[in-house]
Amino acid sequence: MTASATKTATPTATPTAVRTPVRITVRTAAEDSAESGPESGAKGSAEGDREGGPESSADSGAESGAAPEMDFTITDDGSYAARLARRTGDAWFPERWTLEGPEPYAVELPGNQPEEPGSDVLPMADGRVLIRRSVDGRHAFSLLYPTGPGTGELPLGAVECERLTLLPPVPGGCRAYALEPGAHTTTVWLVTGGAFGPEHVADVPGRCTGGVWLDRTGRMLALDRETGGVTKAVAVDLERGGEVTPLLQIADGSDDRLLLADPDSGLLLVRSDAPGDDRLGWGVLGSRRPIRFPESLRLDDAVLTPFAVQPGQMLMPESCGVALRIASATGSWLGVWRPAGRRLLQLASPEGWLAGAGLWSTEGVLRLPCTTGAVPVGVVDIAPLGGLPLDPRMESPGDGGTEPAQTEVAGQEPCAAQMSPVVCKPVPLQQAPLTSRPQRG
């Protein structure tokens, strides 16, 4: 398992960088709800926790000529995004979206030959796009950028291993990391942002997947580690050679995975089978409060996957908006939830939505990237939190099912991410209420 300094050839073709049309639409929760009728079955309401789902749950863009679903990755600050796009036929190429400014636009970054569908792309804060390609048993990395009529490429080197995946964008966007899972050890690589080329950072015991940043400095990384047939989220300190501390230990034999984390508020979104089946739950980084599994995040015939958390809510995890993709056998649509709202708001997804992609502003505006045959680049802005007012019962200490994750004075137990490593103390499941029923006694 070695890092190779071999460089790939710089593309010689001169493809055209294209600014494509855009669409920006601002919608309120009331407007979306007016277009969404109540649903039966899993999409309907349950005990007042869920509100009307969309009338149509067909996948967005399926009939509009949009490209098939591919990963759409957004930088931590929301300025750039990147994905693999496809022209007519099977020719795949990297595409960078510029999201900041009054008019988002996309720039194509094709090389001298089409990319493989399995390649990964990651946007950087300076506007360049990192690409990982599989080449003869190696994973080669390059930085792509527009150069007038062509595409510039800066080869970074390669890692020789069987499997390697890019981690989500690092806060700040000046570095990028990759994960090499092995049978007994997982290696973390610094792909760009170091001296030059891929650099070995840490070896983590166990087979690790996932990857969530816990702070704004890119030091603390959460991974889902499998040991002895059980998966638990752990925190890895990249500045201490990969020092590992427990992060989630809900029950001894449960699989506890971290899906999202917001460093500002400390809000954590987890998936665990500790309640008896696979459930979504929430907690607070650094808090001694237990993980909660609200009934509003449980649908019988659909899978909920959170993809964005509202930033900037310092010490207020209960008020953070959470965007979720709701997927069933008939399609997917949008869900919006927050701990203090106590219910799941289901909305019809915009036409051409790149399902599972989006970001929040600190003011509570949810930005959803969309693409259709008529409008290749579009961003739909919605303000859904007006449909999820804060429930005053969240302030009642006797309501165990949705008790605030942190009611202590900020000076006693801060829930915002620290500059120094934060270690969450494991909480046994028997101390964690699983439903919204009041506690007795």
Q: Which of 355, 293, 235, 386 is nearest to 49 (CA)?
A: 293
Q: Could you tell me the two tokens for 319?
A: 């008020």
**R_g of the chain, CA atoms, integer Å:** 22
List the beta bridge partners of residue 4. 158
Per-residue pLDDT of the chain (441 residues; tens, 9 = 90+): 444 433 333 233 333 333 333 333 333 333 443 343 333 333 333 333 444 455 433 343 333 333 445 689 999 999 999 999 987 677 899 999 999 888 899 999 998 888 988 899 999 999 999 999 998 889 999 999 999 888 999 999 999 999 999 999 999 989 999 999 988 899 999 999 988 789 999 999 999 999 999 999 999 999 999 998 999 999 999 999 999 999 999 999 999 999 999 999 999 999 999 999 999 999 999 888 899 999 999 998 999 999 999 999 998 999 999 999 999 999 999 999 999 988 999 999 999 999 999 999 999 999 999 998 888 899 999 999 888 877 655 543 333 333 333 322 223 222 222 323 333 333 333 344 333 333 333
State how far the Cα of 324 lies from the Cα of 309, in Å rounded to an integer: 9
Output the pLDDT for position 136. 86
DSSP 292: B
As a whole number of angstroms, the distance between CA 139 and CA 284 comes to 36
Question: What pLDDT is recorded for position 105?
Answer: 94
Beta partners for residue 142, in sequence order: 131, 155
Residues with Cβ within 8 Å of residue 174, at least 6 apart in sequence: 124, 125, 126, 193
Distance between CA atoms of residues 105 and 241, nearest Å: 40
Structure tokens that stand for 441 in this block = 């006694």
**pLDDT given for residue 70 in this prediction:** 64
